[in-house]
């Protein structure tokens, strides 16, 4: 018996059953209208077969103390049996079979996104171990493995290119089909495809920690979240069923006309809206995924459409988060060659972004770098090294001054000049004297200003930048982009406090955009949160409602515009449904529709809301 129920619950079985049932009943009704003489027993049999799944569903939901449209449909079928309206009953069964097909298709649509990603998980991978290339199972991969990726291979891990060059198709992650060239020192993502070339990649994230596995987990979570419209639809369905049943009972008591009651039930059976609303949000989430944007549920789609206020981090969100040397300044007490040697020796053992930028700068100019004898890095302060008997220190001017270094007035003027234009400073000192400094800038992502303006055209009232960077740097970015307000020098708890206070003082959907671990709490507090999925931290991506799989700010106005269009289409369905039902009821009470024609009317108009939501599949991406 258990195996029988498993088979009945199987997706393929249910889909085939309903398709076959719809085809048989549909053909029988068409032939009946063409004056073929069918025995009533055939339509009785069809009606009973059609009643079984809907009655089972109604009973199961009643046990769970829920009312669904299946209950109303079951009552309509029972009334049709009492009235001996077998053709009407057959029409109800046909209508319900189509509703179940669309519902099953909706569920399948959500699963299809996951299956599309799952097929990009290779079973076997090639790795270099002990100077040999061997093939192992994907689950045997370890962090630190050197993975060989040849032309045509799917990249199985997130990692760093150690050697080689290749053209990578990142469409599975970012939604962009344009090939991206990857070479030594650059990051590659799991499930992307090597179209040409070869790479040796050091595995950094494997299994459930890889990008593709996180996407699969996020989409699984998204499909289980209901939107406000879906929740309203569920509540509406409950009240609608109660009112319809009560109205039908009263109508029968006053009219004693069972055919009139049956006609009303047939016109008002709202299975179309019950299918169309969740289908619309599933289509929206699926379409967004193809655009390279992961949305965690229908409720997020609705919030995206209503954003009034935008908060954003700066580093790694508005900017690339990778400092670039803008100025090299050395003073009279040293020559350029010796200064650059100090820079290289102080930076070579550090993983700080500024040190990495300095090393890149020196390598591009073929300047040799020597290792220090002693190396000490103080996080958040600076670096202290010894080289050939010289004591060298690197960091902020405050750090050097606390360490006993004194800057001349001329040097202070040069520092101030760089800071005034919003540059970050790393000062270098040798044996008690300040010998020079590097000035860094973090380049803005392209079109930041245009993107802000575009969102304001879409209804965003104001943008606020929240950054841990200094006031001068923040001011430069704020002016360049055109922010309404900015706050500098903020710690993670400061961002959280600012958002809490802002929400108390302003009504409307508040969005937060960020990429780092320090943004995770602020992202979780916002009404809708957007994370940089490609370069962002795992914590920020998990805390966020939306992940941009390609760190492209152009996606922000695109996804807001798309969500607004999608929500409008979904909400149109309530108007479509209401208009259709009102017209149908008028026709019933005018005597134009009897049970048979009421069933036909409901069947034909059922397709209007469902066909309407399919427009979401054809929404075009706007350009900033």
User: Which residues carry out catalysis?
Assistant: 313
As a whole number of angstroms, the distance between CA 309 and CA 614 comes to 30
Find the angle CA(266)-CA(271)-CA(274) to the nearest 5 degrees: 150
**Nearest-CA neighbor of 172 among 210, 224, 138, 204?**
210
Going from the C-alpha of 125 to that of each of 140, 220, 234, 277, the distances in angstroms are 9, 26, 47, 43
Those residues with Cβ within 8 angstroms of residue 423's Cβ, 6 or more apart along the chain or in another chain: 326, 327, 439, 440, 441, 473
Cα distances from 309 to residues 138, 302, 304, 502, 525, in angstroms, run 44, 15, 11, 10, 14
The whole-angstrom separation of Cα 250 and Cα 264 is 12
- For residue 92, give Cα distances in angstroms to 104, 122, 464, 533, 583: 18, 47, 55, 47, 19
Q: Nearest CA to 327 among 449, 417, 402, 407? A: 417
For residue 113, the tally of other CB atoms under 10 A from its CB is 21
Give the CA radius of gyration of the chain.
32
Q: At what angle do helices 211-223 and 271-290 cross, to 10 degrees?
A: 160
- Is residue 400 within 8 A of residue 429, CB to CB? The reply is yes
CA-based nearest residue to 248, from 58, 79, 62, 68: 79
Give Cα 500 distance to the centre of its chain: 24
**How would you write 467-516 as a 3-class SS string?**
CCCCHHHHHHHHHHHCCCEEECCCCHHHHHHHHHHHHHHCCCEEEEEECC
The alpha helices in 291-405, defined as continuous H runs, are 298-304, 336-347, 353-364, 397-402
Q: In what order do the strands lie in the sheet with 293-295?
A: 293-295, 546-548, 528-532, 509-514, 307-312, 462-466, 485-487
The rounded distance, in Å, linking the Cα atoms of 365 and 398 is 30
In angstroms, the CA 54 to CA 252 distance is: 24
d(CA 447, CA 14) in angstroms, rounded, equals 50
What is the Cβ-side half-sphere exposure of residue 365, based on CA atoms within 13 angstroms? 12
Neighbours of 331 (CB within 10 A): 17
């Amino acid at each position: 018996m258990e195996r029988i129920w498993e088979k009945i619950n199987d997706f393929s079985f249910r889909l085939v059953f309903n398709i076959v049932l719809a085809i048989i009943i549909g053909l029988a009704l068409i032939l009946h209208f063409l004056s073929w003489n069918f025995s009533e027993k055939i339509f009785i049999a069809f009606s009973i077969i059609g009643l079984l799944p809907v009655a089972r569903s109604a009973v199961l939901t009643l046990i769970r103390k829920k009312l669904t449209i299946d209950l109303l449909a079951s009552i309509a079928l029972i009334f049709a049996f009492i009235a001996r309206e077998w053709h009407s009953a057959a029409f109800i069964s046909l209508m319900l079979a189509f509703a179940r097909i669309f519902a099953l298709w909706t569920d399948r649509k959500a699963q299809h996104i996951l299956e599309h990603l799952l097929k990009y998980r290779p079973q076997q991978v090639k790795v270099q171990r002990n100077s040999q290339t061997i093939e192992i199972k994907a689950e045997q991969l370890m962090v630190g493995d050197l993975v060989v990726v040849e032309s045509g291979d799917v990249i199985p891990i997130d990692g760093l290119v150690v050697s080689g060059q290749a053209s990578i198709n990142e469409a599975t992650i970012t939604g962009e089909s344009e090939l991206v060239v990857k070479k030594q020192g650059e990051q590659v993502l799991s499930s992307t495809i090597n179209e040409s070339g070869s790479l040796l990649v050091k595995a950094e994230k494997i299994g459930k920690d890889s990008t593709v596995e996180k996407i699969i987990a996020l989409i699984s979570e998204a499909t289980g979240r209901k939107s406000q419209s879906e929740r309203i639809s569920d509540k509406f369905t409950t009240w609608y069923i109660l009112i319809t049943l009560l109205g039908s009972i009263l109508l029968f008591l006053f009219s004693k006309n069972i055919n009139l009651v049956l006609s009303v039930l047939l016109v008002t059976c709202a299975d179309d809206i019950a299918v169309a609303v969740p289908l619309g949000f599933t289509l929206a989430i699926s379409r967004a995924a193809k655009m390279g944007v992961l949305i965690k549920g229908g409720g997020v789609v609705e919030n995206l459409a209503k954003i009034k206020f935008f908060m954003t981090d700066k580093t790694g969100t508005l900017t690339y988060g990778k400092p670039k040397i803008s100025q090299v300044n050395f003073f009279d007490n040293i020559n350029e060659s010796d200064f650059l040697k100090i820079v290289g020796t102080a930076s070579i053992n550090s993983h700080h972004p500024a040190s990495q930028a300095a090393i890149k700068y020196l390598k591009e100019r073929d300047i040799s770098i020597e290792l220090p004898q002693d190396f000490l890095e103080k996080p958040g302060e600076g670096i202290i090294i010894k080289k050939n008997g010289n004591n060298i220190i690197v960091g902020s001017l405050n750090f050097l001054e606390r360490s006993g270094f004194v800057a001349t007035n001329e040097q202070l003027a040069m520092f101030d000049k760089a800071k005034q234009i919003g540059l970050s400073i790393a000062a270098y000192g040798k044996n008690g004297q300040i010998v020079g400094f590097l000035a860094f800038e973090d380049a803005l992502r392209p079109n930041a200003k245009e993107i802000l303006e575009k969102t304001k055209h879409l209804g965003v009232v104001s943008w606020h930048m929240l950054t841990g960077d200094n006031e001068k740097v923040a001011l430069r970015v704020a002016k360049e982009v055109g922010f309404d307000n900015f706050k500098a020098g903020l710690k993670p708890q400061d961002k959280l406090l600012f958002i809490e206070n802002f929400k108390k003082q302003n009504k409307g959907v508040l969005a937060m955009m960020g990429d780092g671990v320090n943004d995770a709490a602020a992202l979780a507090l916002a009404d809708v949160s957007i994370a940089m999925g490609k370069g962002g931290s795992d914590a920020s991506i998990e805390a966020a409602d939306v992940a941009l799989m390609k760190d492209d700010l152009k996606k922000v106005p695109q996804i807001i515009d798309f969500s607004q269009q999608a929500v409008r289409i979904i909400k149109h369905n309530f108007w479509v449904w209401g208009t259709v039902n009102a017209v149908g009821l008028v026709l019933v009470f005018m005597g134009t529709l009897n049970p048979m024609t009421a069933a036909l009317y409901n069947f034909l108009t059922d397709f209007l809301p469902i066909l309407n939501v399919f427009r979401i599949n054809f929404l075009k991406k706007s350009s900033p």
